Structure 1
Amino acid sequence: MSASQWENNEEIKIFREYLRIPTVHPNVDYTACVEFLKRQAASLELPVDVVYPVNEKNPVVIMKWLGSQPELPSIILNSHTDVVPVFADKWTHDPFSADIDDEGKIYARGSQDMKCVGTQYLGAIRALKASGYQPKRTIYLTYVPDEEVGGHLGMRELIKGDYFKKMNVGFSFDEGISSEDETYAVYYAERTLWHLHLKFSGTAGHGSLLLPNTAGEKLNYVVNKFMEFRKSQVQRLADDSTIDIGDVTTVNLTQLKGGVQSNVVPPLLVAVFDIRIAVTVDVAAFEKQIRDWCEEAGGGIELEFEMKNPVVKPTKIDATNPFWLAFKQTLDSLGLKTRVRVFPGATDSRYVRHAGIPALGFSPINKTQILLHDHDEYLRADTYIHGIEVYKKLIPAVADA
């Protein structure tokens, strides 16, 4: 189809309208987004609430589709409304114009991550309601803020509140990542995220001397240990084609701080690491290893966690989980090739799983360049429409499980 033909498609119109709302960090204004979602709820004749888990600047919009057996645990269709910043000069299209080119590519920040999923849910429900279908379980559509900067003002606090507890949630849908081949990835777990600051204290003095136990020596020893470990994880990926980045522990040195001028040996240096720990790793033993490296370096090294997420058990992907069985069997029946994966980053599913609720991450996007958080992020219109067709099957299968 040409760009002009796609422009007249009602579902594409709704998607593009959502993409044009610049819910972009920092200092996100969600006002227009909330009004858009309220209009969508009205068009579907679904009741809608706006909840403020932390403050009025970070609203959660919740739509409710009442099930025929509302006493059963409910299903949530979760998506986040915020998007990451853009470098507009690096884009060939205005990042909030939702332009469609002659190949049917819709360019916009959020087109892959993850406004597409938020409106695909709506498109699927529109079709299901039109067919006369009513779910057995109550379905909630949750549109949460703040995910792109940690979810501390959104899903993390929503789950702690009375509103969420009354929802009696039994299973959650959430985002995945596009695939560049013909397969579709389904994410059942996430690695444990640490942002670790190592503060190296040492002997200070004149830069012309060879002082003992300097902060730089200690930093060098510990950083080398981290880099050796990092190299082992790179080698694991090279040696085993059955695993990907989500199956190994990633370690990246992201910041170095300290010093006052070039001829003064500083009393303190700081190294910051982004660490994502694989689900197969003993986290306590890994932390002990780091502390042992610090002692071997000479001590006087403080570990400060800017972020230390708790270990969260993966969602079960076996016969003990009826939601998983319904999910997987539906994708199989549609002839979709799937890969079960550990999510390489972090999503709001970690908060849901930590509350003991099974969650799967899935975005119905394949044969598409991965451009989340990148310049010229796009999604093809035909891929978007196909995603609605997938959710038309997935949502009732899970809701009736």
Structure 2
Amino acid sequence: MSSQKWEDNEEIKIFREYLRIPTVHPDVDYTACVEFLQRQASSLNLLVDVVCPAVQSKPVVIIKWLGSQPELPSIILNSHTDVVPVFPDKWTHDPFAADIDKEGNIYARGTQDMKSVGTQYLGAIRQLQASGFQPKRTVYVTFVPDEETGGVLGMAEFVKTDYYQQMNVGFSLDEGGTSATDVHHLFYAERLRWGLKLKFSGTSGHGSLLLPNTAGEKLNYLLNKLTQFRTSQVESLARDSSINIGDVTTVNLTQLSGGVQSNVVPPLFEAVFDVRLAITVDVVAFEKQIRDWCEEAGGSIEVDFFRKEPYVGPTHLDSSNPYWLAVKAAIDELGLKVHPIVCPGATDSRYIRQKGTPAIGFSPIINTTVRIHDHDEFLQADTYLNGIAVYKKIIRNLAEV
């Protein structure tokens, strides 16, 4: 089978052009990306602004589709323009060539996470415009930087700007997750992202002695406690098939340092943990438990929560949320299978929700091998084109709420 039919498709051409712009960490140059998005806005006859809320090198691109009743709260269609690093030798295709094979699979970093969503929004708007549709609410298509590094210089700063305040946002749509089955994953909340560094101080000396209160003993005590807690979360997942990874708390040792040579007991060890707290966790009690364990281990342990995101309530998926009803009506009309879950990772939706605005993560990518942040990331061309049709219905419904 030839790939020509997909290569000739105008929407696929736009998507592939976007994928070929290497907005890849660690040193992202967004210049070509901004120019591409400005051309897309021009092709749609839509207004476009570029705002740099943190630093000049971190631009937010905002494409505006003015509503017939602009005084109503607006809709945001958000996506991020950056992608994670690649290891080219692990790929069977150039990660920024956007090659299409004979099955219609498009290989490139960002196909699933999440450049596809950004240009699908634009494709859906193109089709809505062609049908003569005029939104009641103003629709903003936002393209933000640095989501993959926490959004600190992107969405986190953008929501603080006067520009954002003037947008009068009522609802935000953002990325969801790739699904290997025919069921879409829809995110209505996110776990709290905490970073924990523990510095263990203790007695130092010769490695042949059994010294008291060593840093290693204290480290071992905390590792055992946190590993036991981690095991309890693994067991919870195994016992209850109705929950997923986003419903439990994950704790993982990610960095360990200390020591000078093999026969010297060091005075200090440092351990760093990645912690993702379930939204049901009592965060005050959780922090107290860790501090209590440190005292039980012998004290002289410095506790540093170097990242500590605040609790953010979930978006309600019920009749109290008219935007959800609009999304659900579109999903039902299209006959899609959807499973609402807590996002196991983190997206820019958390910054929107912190402002008290409902936000949902949804990517129309199903029956696809999950390759987010993996080698040979790909998306099938027909899956991409079908996603435009899905967003067309969802955007229309949201704009008419």
Q: Same fold (TM over 0.5)?
A: yes
Residue 277 (str. 1) matches residue 282 (str. 2):
no
Q: What is the match of residue 33 of structure 2? A: 33
Secondary structure class of the residue paired with 2:275: strand
Q: What is the match of residue 291 of structure 1? A: 291
Q: What is the match of residue 358 of structure 1? A: 358
Letter in 1 for 2:396: P
1:171 deviates by 0.4
Q: What is the match of residue 12 of structure 1? A: 12
* TM-score (normalizing by structure 2): 0.99
Q: Structure 1 stretch 117-126 or stretch 206-215: which is displaced more?
A: 206-215
State the Cα deviation string for residues 34-54 of structure 1 (Å, max 9, x = none). 000000000000000000011
* TM-score (normalizing by structure 1): 0.99
Q: Distance in 2 between matches of 1:348 and 1:303?
A: 28
Q: What is the match of residue 49 of structure 2? A: 49
1:69 deviates by 0.7
Residue 217 (str. 1) matches residue 210 (str. 2):
no
Q: Distance in 2 between matches of 1:328 and 1:281?
A: 28
Matching of residues 305-316 of structure 1 within 5 Å: 305-316=305-316
1:266 deviates by 1.0
Residue 142 (str. 1) matches residue 142 (str. 2):
yes
User: Sequence identity, in percent?
Assistant: 71
Q: What is the match of residue 175 of structure 2? A: 175
Q: Distance in 2 between matches of 1:121 and 1:296?
A: 54
Gaps of 5+ in 2: none
Q: Distance in 2 between matches of 1:240 and 1:309?
A: 27
Q: What is the match of residue 302 of structure 1? A: 302
Secondary structure class of the residue paired with 2:226: helix
Secondary structure class of the residue paired with 1:272: strand
Q: CA RMSD in A?
A: 0.7
Q: Distance in 2 between matches of 1:301 and 1:57?
A: 39
1:2 deviates by 3.2
Matching of residues 207-356 of structure 1 within 5 Å: 207-356=207-356
Letter in 1 for 2:45: E
1:263 deviates by 1.2
Secondary structure class of the residue paired with 1:211: coil
How many aligned residue pairs are there?
Answer: 401
1:379 deviates by 0.2
Residue 384 (str. 1) matches residue 384 (str. 2):
yes
Letter in 2 for 1:75: I
Letter in 1 for 2:245: I
Q: Distance in 1 between matches of 2:259 and 2:307?
A: 25
Q: Distance in 1 between matches of 2:308 and 2:219?
A: 21
1:306 deviates by 2.3
Secondary structure class of the residue paired with 2:304: strand
Secondary structure class of the residue paired with 1:173: strand
Q: Distance in 1 between matches of 2:114 and 2:310?
A: 25
Matching of residues 179-194 of structure 1 within 5 Å: 179-194=179-194
Q: What is the match of residue 369 of structure 1? A: 369
Gaps of 5+ in 1: none
Q: Distance in 2 between matches of 1:294 and 1:318?
A: 42
State the Cα deviation string for residues 234-290 of structure 1 (Å, max 9, x = none). 011111111111111011011111111111111110111000000111111111111
Secondary structure class of the residue paired with 2:269: strand
Q: Distance in 1 between matches of 2:263 and 2:306?
A: 31
Q: Distance in 1 between matches of 2:317 and 2:209?
A: 60
1:56 deviates by 1.1
Secondary structure class of the residue paired with 2:63: strand
**Runs of at least 4 residues off by over 4 Å:** none
1:311 deviates by 1.0
State the Cα deviation string for residues 127-171 of structure 1 (Å, max 9, x = none). 001111011110001000000001111100000010000000010
Secondary structure class of the residue paired with 1:329: helix
1:396 deviates by 1.1
Secondary structure class of the residue paired with 2:132: coil
Q: Distance in 1 between matches of 2:324 and 2:285?
A: 31
1:328 deviates by 1.3
Q: Distance in 1 between matches of 2:10 and 2:365?
A: 20
Secondary structure class of the residue paired with 1:223: helix
1:347 deviates by 0.6
Secondary structure class of the residue paired with 1:383: helix
Q: Distance in 2 between matches of 1:309 and 1:261?
A: 37
